[in-house]
Chain A
Amino acid sequence: MNVIVCVKQIPDPALPGELDADNTLKRDGKLILDESDSYGVEMALQLVTAAGGGAVSLVSMAPNEEVSGLRTALAMGAEKAVLVSDASLAGADALTTAKVLAGAVGKAGEYDLVIAGTESSDGYTGTVPEQVAEVLGLPSVTFAKSIEVDGSNVKVERQTEAGYDEVTCSLPAVVSVTAGVVEPRYPSFKGIMAAKSKPVENVTVGDLGIEAASWAQSITNVEDAPAREAGEIIEDDGETFNKIVEFLDNLKVI
């Protein structure tokens, strides 16, 4: 069982987001593994263990040959990575990203399953996994909360608006997983040390045979959203619940 996981390295979400001069997200500092992707990495590792053999490989697209986030996933137990780093991809749209990742999947060797997060925590377009599946010509299941391999199929519990569906899908396939469905392991000290020497193959857009990167959208304006009027903020003195009652009463919801 070989699983490829698409991972994104993003600016630390704990820091306030910033825009570059061209109004795309500022991403030239240190990047970390998107927490949303740690669930996919964990799930892939569990599937390979359950299958009794195989490997987890990573594919990623990031500026400046950034590997900090990849090292985290390698330390968790992934074996190798393909990283597409190319200045021409700065500000790339989701479709271009999907074409690049699909190309990187082709470089990562034989696979049975491709796993991705539902959406990244910085750009959150939310279409890339399904686009990767279409580029690769594969079936897909999105919003998975569990994945179980059953012979040449996967059985997936897929989150829906009303509950969940049980879906059976032939392999190879692309499955996107929702956050919080498994507990991502903490890298061990041994894992962190081992990750330093695991192979990361750097490739460019040219290596993937993808034509000059361009996308049919442009940012034409950025402005501050209208601010909400400041409300009344009070320290609880044991009686503030009355304030809430009064507030609700005024709105006639009680």
Chain B
Amino acid sequence: MGIDNIWVFAQTTDGAASSGTLELLTKASSLGGTVSAFVVGAAGDAAAAMADHGAAKIYETGDLAGALPGAAVSAAMKAVIEGGDSPDLIMFPQSYEGRDVIARLSVKLDRTVLTNSTDVSVDGDSVSVETPIFGGAKIVTSTFTGEAPYLAAFRPKSFEPVGGVGAAGEVVSAPVPDLGSTGGATVTAVHVEETSGPKLDEAAVVVSGGRGLGEADKFGMVEELAKQLKGAPGASRAIVDAGWVPYSYQVGQTGKVVKPTVYIAAGISGATQHMVGMKGSKNIIAINKDKEAPIFGVADLGIVGDVHKVLPQLLEALASRS
């Protein structure tokens, strides 16, 4: 026994293995036993990186032909499990697709799910995960008590991806079976929102704006500061909900998790929802009028002041240096 067969739900972006995939493969490898990747679509050139991060076997569903991954990939996984390769633990990234697949699979296999986790540990046959709650103020450890496979989803950047494992990476086809009544959804068009500069979750500097900016136009200051610092602009849920900026800018529980070298929060009070997404930043600068704002509890440098005064001064000072 023991936890000796672990699967990782794997995704590719533009043909490369996603960062979440490589993070989870690395962690899975460290737990001992055999690691398999289960790829949405075709593994293609990404197979090499997956093997390098520990995947001995790489299942691929092949093209989903417009089906959404939730119903399709969970059905493909179940078919492989019924075929005899029964994992003890399946690790998912807390991505849109990861969430949909873990949810469908939990019903198909009648297994509980633990999501939003940031760590996993194995002790004999027992698997436990750690999950931050209340905006990261407390850490809850939960242990699976039923039968394997155990299903767990992990927040992005919970683990550091490390290559050089050199596992076999044997690619095996795991086609999607007929989905019956659950197969009614089809993607008819894909829209990519153009962004310039570094990606929000990869940038070394992130400058985020919140409700304290007062109005949508003022977000321009945040974008300008991000540009000057060669970083990415981000936003709190409040101003995304208000329609000032697209959802893709959102930092937080329901948005992106960022861990930049510097995070600048401008006019953000620091709701739990937001803090979860940025608390792991190496350095945090906060500018807010309200000195009681929770964001100051995590700030390395906190300016109690008006963003409408401080940001223009800062922009001018930075411009004069370059």
Contacts and interface: CB of A to CB of B under 8 A. Distances in A.
> Which interface residue of A17, A238, A244 has the most chain B CB atoms within 10 A?
A244
B140 A166 contact: no
A215 B297 CA distance: 36
B172 interface: no
Interface stretch (A1-9, A51-59, A168-176): A168-176
Interface stretch (A136-144, A189-197, A199-207): A136-144
Main secondary structure of the interface of B (DSSP, over half): mixed
Interface in A135-170: 135, 137-143, 145, 158-170
A221 to B, nearest CB: 4
Interface string B297-321: 1111111111001100110011001
A41 B259 CA distance: 35
Contact of B106 (A119, A127, A231): A127
Contacts of B313: 238, 241
Contacts of B298: 228, 231
A62 interface: no
Contacts of B70: 130, 133, 140, 142
Contact of B137 (A142, A225, A232): A225
Interface stretch (B23-31, B44-52, B112-120): B112-120
Contacts of A222: 138-141
A134 B146 contact: no
B217 interface: no
B111 interface: yes
Interface in B87-123: 94-96, 99-100, 102-104, 106-108, 110-116
B285 A95 contact: no
B252 to A, nearest CB: 11
Interface string B262-282: 101000000011000001000
Q: How large is the interface on B (under 10, 10 to 19, 20 to 34, 35 or more residues)?
A: 35 or more
A254 B144 CA distance: 47
Contacts of B68: 140-142, 158, 167
Interface in A208-237: 215-225, 228, 231-236
Given A124-B116, A131-B107, A233-B296, A253 B303 contact: no
B147 to A, nearest CB: 7
A10 to B, nearest CB: 13
Contacts of B262: 248, 251, 253
A121 B181 CA distance: 31
A238 B309 contact: yes
Interface string A75-116: 000000000000000000111001000000000000000000
B143 A218 contact: yes
A236 B305 contact: yes
A239 B283 CA distance: 21
B103 A127 contact: yes
B247 A145 contact: yes
Contacts of A143: 96
A95 B283 CA distance: 38
A179 interface: yes
B261 A251 contact: yes
B115 A126 contact: yes
A94 B138 contact: no
Interface string B45-88: 00000000000000000000000101100100000000000000
Interface residues of A, number: 78
Contacts of A218: 142-143, 145
A186 interface: no
A53 to B, nearest CB: 24
B1 interface: no
Interface stretch (B33-41, B158-166, B183-191): B183-191
Given A241-B317, A254-B229, A95 B113 contact: yes
A216 B146 contact: yes
A242 B253 CA distance: 32
A168 B112 contact: no
A179 B115 contact: no
A240 interface: yes
Given A141-B68, A222-B138, A245-B314, A134 B107 contact: yes
Contacts of B302: 231-234
Interface in B128-150: 128, 132-134, 136-147
Given A125-B115, A179-B254, A244-B301, 19 more contacts: A17-B134, A23-B140, A94-B103, A125-B116, A127-B102, A131-B106, A141-B68, A143-B96, A165-B189, A167-B188, A169-B186, A217-B143, A217-B146, A236-B310, A238-B309, A245-B318, A247-B300, A253-B261, A254-B318
Interface of A: 13, 16-17, 19, 23, 93-95, 98, 118-119, 121, 124-131, 133-135, 137-143, 145, 158-170, 173, 178-180, 215-225, 228, 231-236, 238, 240-245, 247-248, 251, 253-254
